[in-house]
Amino acid sequence: MAYKSLRDFIAKLEKAGELVRVTEPVSTVLEMTEIQRRLLATGGPAVLFENVIRADGEPSNMPCLVNLFGTVKRVAMGVTLDGVERTTAGELREVGELLAFLRAPEPPRGIKDAMEMLPLAKTVMSMRPATVKKAPVQEIVLKGDDIDLTKLPIQTCWPGEPAPLITWPLVVTKGPSDDREDNYNLGIYRMQVLGKNRTIMRWLAHRGGAQHHQRWKKAGKREPLPACAVIGAIPAPSWRP
């Protein structure tokens, strides 16, 4: 991957003039979303709010990155499956065609086809996940009463909403059968915060995560469905067509 972390991508965007930093205080309640709405309508840059005011009126100790995928150019810059930077809609379409091929690949029809597929095989191998013993995401671990979602800079997006929304979590779920090809799923399902350690999540019945949950219950599992919500990942897995 061209980017080892979201910080790498932020640095790339800032260097390219595709990101600005806002040091003025901005509230997560309606104000931040209204700024994003205007930026999206005008093709504006990604924004890193460095002085976030939470719903309780207190400053957050975390910045908030918004409008990351607000233009085709930024989406293309983020999708670097083979280490090649892309900046146009045409190049982004090529990535989509590659992903479609990988989902239902055609076998080579001869030696020439096999040789032409070697670069593709290299790309596929570079996409394999790696298992590590230590990771930055594990540097700070909060459990039990220490968990407090209200400390995160989560936005209340629209007037009249009952609670703030985590708008772009990558929700990873694991089904009950290890021998199935679709036993792992990554989906983007909005999560509404109900309290310090509770959210509700919207997933439609035909989506992968919901199907995992259905199969989990059907298998008679007593323990909770294995699931993880990832926020702040590198851009490529955070984007979907």
Q: Is the pLDDT of residue 97 over 70?
A: no
β-pair partners for 155: 165
Q: What is the mean pLDDT of residues 29-50?
A: 96
Q: Which residue has the higher pLDDT, 54 or 113?
A: 54
Instruction: Please give the model's pTM, rounded to 2 decimal places.
Output: 0.79
pLDDT-derived band at 241, boundaries 50, 70, 90: very low
188, 170 Cβ separation under 8 angstroms: yes
β-pair partners for 201: 191
Q: Is the pLDDT of residue 30 over 50?
A: yes
Confidence (pLDDT) at 99: 61
Burial per residue of 206-221, b for 16 or more beta-carbon CB atoms within 10 angstroms, e otherwise: ebbbbbbbebbeeeee
Lowest mean per-residue pLDDT among 28-32, 55-59, 103-107, 229-233: 103-107
Lowest mean per-residue pLDDT among 9-13, 67-71, 86-90, 139-143: 86-90
Confidence (pLDDT) at 117: 57
- Tokens representing 25 are 């205080």
For the chain, the structural domain boundaries read 136-238
Percentage of the chain beyond pLDDT 90 is: 51
Q: What is the mean pLDDT of residues 6-28?
A: 94
Rg over alpha carbons for the chain, rounded to the nearest Å, is: 20
